[in-house]
C-alpha cells in the first residue's frame, strides 16, 4: 500500500514512539469543494477511534487518505507503514478460495499457515477452501477482517464494515473486532453512522462536520459496555453534536433519523 502513496511518511507504531497517526492542518479539495478544511488528528498506537458525521462530511475521504488511497500531496500526514482497510463490502476475489483471498499479496514463507491462523482467529477455520460466493455476509466480513489482520497492521481502517449486516451478526462482529483489537493492538479508525456502535467500541469518538472535527468524546467505560445511564449520556451528547434531538435508546422501539436521511435503529 505504501507504494500507492509514496509521499506518506510512515511513523513507527511502537508504544511510546509518538502517535500512530498524525495529520496537521490537512486540507482536501475536489475542485471548488473543500471537503477537509484544515484538520488536525492524532491517534495513539493501539487507540480505537470512531468517526461519526453526516453524509458528505468527509469521513471516507479522511479514511482513504490514511489508507494511502487518496492523494495527500506534500501534506503533513503520518501513518504506520502497515495499514489495512475493511470496507462495507468484503471485496473478495470470487475466483480465489477463501484462504487465498486472505493470503493475497503476502510475501515470505508459511503463507498458507498464516492465512489459516488468521481465518481460525475469526472463526472460519472450517471454511479455508470455500469459495467466496458460498459465504454469508457475516462470513465474508470475517474473511475481510482476517485478510486485514494477517498483515499485522499498525493502523486498521474500518469503513462502515458492519453496516450491511443484520443486527445480531453486527453485535457478534463487535465482539470479534474487540477481541482482535485486544490481541493485535492496532490503532483503529472506524467510520460509522451508528452512534451506539461508536459508543460500544471506541476509546474516543470524533464528530466530523464539513471537514472539521466538531466534537470529541473520550469514553472510559469498561468493555463490554452495557447501554446503562452513562452510555446513554454519551450517546445523547453525540446525537446532539450530530444535530439530532435527544433520542430514545436502543430497544425502545423508535428510530433515529439523521437530517441526511440515514436511520439508526
Ligand atoms: N473523487 C471525488 N471527486 C469529487 N468529489 C468527491 C470525491 N470523493 C468525495 N467527494 C466529495 O467529497 C465530499 C465528502 O465525501 P465523503 O465520501 O468523504 O463523505 P462521507 O462523510 O464519507 O459521506 P457518507 O457518509 O455518505 O459515506 C462529498 O461532497 C463528495 O461528493
User: Does residue 177 fall inside a structural domain?
Assistant: no
Taken as a whole, the chain contains a residue count of: 265
When divided into structural domains, the chain yields a total of 1
Nearest atom in ligand 1 to 58's CA: 18
DSSP code, position 3: G
pTM, entire model = 0.87
Does 138 or 262 have the greater pLDDT score?
138
User: Does residue 117 fall inside a structural domain?
Assistant: no
CA of 55 to the centre of ligand 1 (A): 8
Confidence at 107, pLDDT banded by 50, 70, 90: confident
CA of 36 to the centre of ligand 1 (A): 10
Does the pLDDT of residue 250 top 60, yes or no? Answer: no
Confidence at 248, pLDDT banded by 50, 70, 90: low
Q: Name the phi and psi angles at 206, rounded to 5.
A: -110, 140
CATH number of the domain within which 60 lies: 3.40.50.300
User: Does residue 139 fall inside a structural domain?
Assistant: no
Query: Does the model's ipTM exceed the 0.95 cut?
Result: yes
User: Does residue 265 fall inside a structural domain?
Assistant: no
CA of 247 to the centre of ligand 1 (A): 27
Residue 191 in contact with residue 41, Cβ under 8 Å?
no
- CA–CA separation, 85 and 153 (whole Å): 9
| Per-residue b or e along 180-206, where b marks 16 or more CB atoms closer than 10 Å to that residue's CB | bbeebbbbbbbbbbbbbbbbbbbbbbb
User: Does residue 225 fall inside a structural domain?
Assistant: yes
User: Does residue 65 fall inside a structural domain?
Assistant: yes
User: Does residue 73 fall inside a structural domain?
Assistant: yes
pLDDT at res. 258: 45
Give residue-wise pLDDT tens across range 199-211.
Answer: 999 999 999 998 8
Residue of minimum CA distance from atom 6 in ligand 1: 30
CA of 58 to the centre of ligand 1 (A): 6
Domain containing residue 190 = 18-82+183-244
CA of 61 to the centre of ligand 1 (A): 6
**Distance between terminal CA atoms of the chain?**
35
User: Does residue 114 fall inside a structural domain?
Assistant: no
Residue of minimum CA distance from atom 7 in ligand 1: 30
Which amino acids bring their CB within 6 angstroms of ligand 1?
A: 30, 33, 35, 53, 55-61
Amino acid at each position: 500500500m505504501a507504494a500507492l502513496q509514496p509521499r506518506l511518511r510512515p511513523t513507527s507504531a511502537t508504544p511510546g514512539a509518538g502517535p500512530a497517526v498524525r495529520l496537521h492542518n490537512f486540507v482536501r479539495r475536489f475542485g471548488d469543494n473543500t471537503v477537509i478544511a484544515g484538520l488536525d488528528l492524532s491517534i495513539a498506537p493501539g487507540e480505537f477511534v470512531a468517526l461519526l458525521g453526516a453524509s458528505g462530511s468527509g469521513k471516507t475521504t479522511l479514511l482513504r487518505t490514511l489508507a494511502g488511497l487518496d492523494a495527500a500531496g506534500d501534506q503533513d500526514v503520518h501513518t504506520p507503514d502497515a495499514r489495512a482497510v475493511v470496507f462495507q463490502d468484503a471485496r473478495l476475489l470470487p475466483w480465489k478460495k477463501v484462504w487465498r483471498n486472505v493470503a493475497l499479496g503476502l510475501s515470505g514463507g508459511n503463507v498458507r499457515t498464516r492465512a489459516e491462523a488468521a481465518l481460525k482467529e475469526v472463526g472460519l477455520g472450517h471454511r479455508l477452501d470455500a469459495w467466496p460466493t458460498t459465504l454469508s455476509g457475516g462470513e465474508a466480513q470475517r474473511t475481510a477482517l482476517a485478510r486485514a489482520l494477517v498483515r499485522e497492521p499498525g493502523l486498521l481502517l474500518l469503513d462502515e464494515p458492519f453496516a450491511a449486516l443484520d443486527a445480531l451478526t453486527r453485535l457478534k462482529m463487535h465482539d470479534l473486532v474487540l477481541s482482535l483489537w485486544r490481541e493485535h493492538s492496532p490503532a483503529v479508525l472506524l467510520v460509522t453512522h451508528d452512534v451506539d456502535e461508536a459508543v460500544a467500541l471506541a476509546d474516543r469518538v470524533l464528530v466530523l462536520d464539513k471537514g472539521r472535527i466538531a466534537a470529541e468524546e473520550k469514553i472510559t467505560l469498561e468493555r463490554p459496555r452495557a447501554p446503562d445511564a452513562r452510555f446513554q449520556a454519551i450517546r445523547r451528547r453525540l446525537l446532539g453534536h450530530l444535530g439530532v434531538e435527544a433520542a430514545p435508546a436502543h430497544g425502545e422501539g423508535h428510530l433515529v433519523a439523521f437530517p441526511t436521511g440515514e436511520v439508526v435503529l
